[in-house]
Amino acid sequence: MKNAILASTSTLHGQNYLSYLLPEIAKLFKNCAEIVFIPFARPGGITHDEYTGSVKKVLKTISINVKGLHEFENKEQALREAQGVFTGGGNTFLLVDKLHRNNLMMPLREQILEGTPYLGSSAGTNIGGLTMQTTNDMPIIYPPSFKTLGVVPFNINPHYLDPDLNSKHKGETRETRIKEFHTLNTQPVIGLREGSWLEIKDENIILRGTPSARIFTVGKEPMELVSNSNLSEII
């Protein structure tokens, strides 16, 4: 029984960290007095302690205690005993490398599939898919594998951006990059725009938030998925 939220971002423009998601986080972790936070993605290179401290500060406002996974000597046991898990954003390559090299990817997957509430944002959402190959991040480290949790049967592109028709920038768009991915890979890709998230309950995968999402499938034109649609009925 899966119970998860995979959010495109932790912070909307002009808002505080996690503020737009707090009501959903409170519902997700309603039975959790304490959760484990995975700070391995280290946005901007901040330390594990600094990252965990920022999460502790916010979740304290909804009466949830937080411990960073890096604080545990036996990290696998910490995941298996966690009441809930939150994986923060940052660099997906670094996150995936750390999870694989510490043999934590499979234990985390198993806990999510068994029903441990899971929250991911940005990189923490990217690893919810089949592989991390549709991340936007720089490959600052080479992980042992690109395979990730497979909580959903597709890949995810968080922070999906539509082409700016007024821009003079001539570099590749996100859509172009995803089409490149599909020349060598077959799984669908969901482009999650800012302010949207996937709510996963058992086998249902519901798009939440105001923005629509963009679905890319091999051999087909991209399609728009409106908020509150069930992806499990489409993919």
Q: What is the mean pLDDT of each run of 10 residues along the chain (235 residues)?
A: 96 92 97 98 97 98 98 98 98 98 98 98 98 98 98 97 76 91 98 98 96 97 96 86
pLDDT number for residue 171: 66
Tell me the catalytic residues: 122, 137, 159
Query: Which amino acid appears at position 46 of this protein?
Result: I
- What are the pLDDT digits (tens) for 2-33? 999 999 999 998 899 999 999 999 999 999 99
- What are the pLDDT digits (tens) for 206-224? 999 999 999 999 999 999 9
Sequence spans of domains, the chain:
3-162+189-213+224-233
Buried b (16+ CB within 10 A) or exposed e, 188-204: bbbbbbbbbbbbbeeee
128 token code pair: 């919810």
d(CA 156, CA 164): 21
> Going by C-beta distance under 8 Å and a sequence separation of 6 or more, which residues neighbour residue 111?
79, 80, 82, 85, 118
Which CATH number applies to 3-162+189-213+224-233: 3.40.50.970, 3.30.300.30, 3.40.50.300, 3.40.50.880?
A: 3.40.50.880
